[in-house]
Amino acid sequence: DIQMTQSPSSLSASVGDRVTITCRASQSITTHLYWYQHKPGKAPKLLIYAASAVQSGVPSRFSGSGSETDFTLTISGLQPEDFATYFCQQSYSSPHTFGQGTKLEIK
């Protein structure tokens, strides 16, 4: 199975900050990489697909980049509603695998 390693596991930031979360695959996954936002008790929400395409309805402050093994999710200008857990997923090879998640907390 392809291992997905996210960093950091947790992050403290303030409203208005720019934050970056990284996801590294154990082998090349080209751009078969997705980012989700998850708030407690809610359904996870797709933010980014194909490494850099922003899902319809997702604010433009969310962006993704990367290919092969290294990927980033950037949030430019944090809003109060952005404090949540973020995780990545690969679909290059079955079974789909996920990063462990990054918990974004208010500083």
Partner 1 sequence: QVQLQESGPGLVKSSETLSLTCTVSGASISSYYWSWLRQPPGKGLEWIGYVYYSRRANCNPCVNYNPSLENRVTMSVDPSKNQFSLRLNSVTAADTAVYYCATDVRSGSLNWFDPWGQGTLVTVSS
Residues that bind partner 1 (CB under 8 A): 32, 34, 36, 41-46, 49-50, 55, 87, 89, 91, 94-101
The residue among 23 and 75 lying less far from partner 1, judged by its C-beta, is 23
Per-residue HEC secondary structure of 10-66 comes to EEEECCCCEEEEEEEECCCCCCCEEEEEECCCCCCEEEEECCCEECCCCCCCEEEEE
**Least Cβ distance, residue 21 to partner 1 (angstroms):** 14
**Rounded Cα distance, 44 and 21, in Å:** 17
The residue among 44 and 72 lying less far from partner 1, judged by its C-beta, is 44
The residue among 13 and 58 lying less far from partner 1, judged by its C-beta, is 58
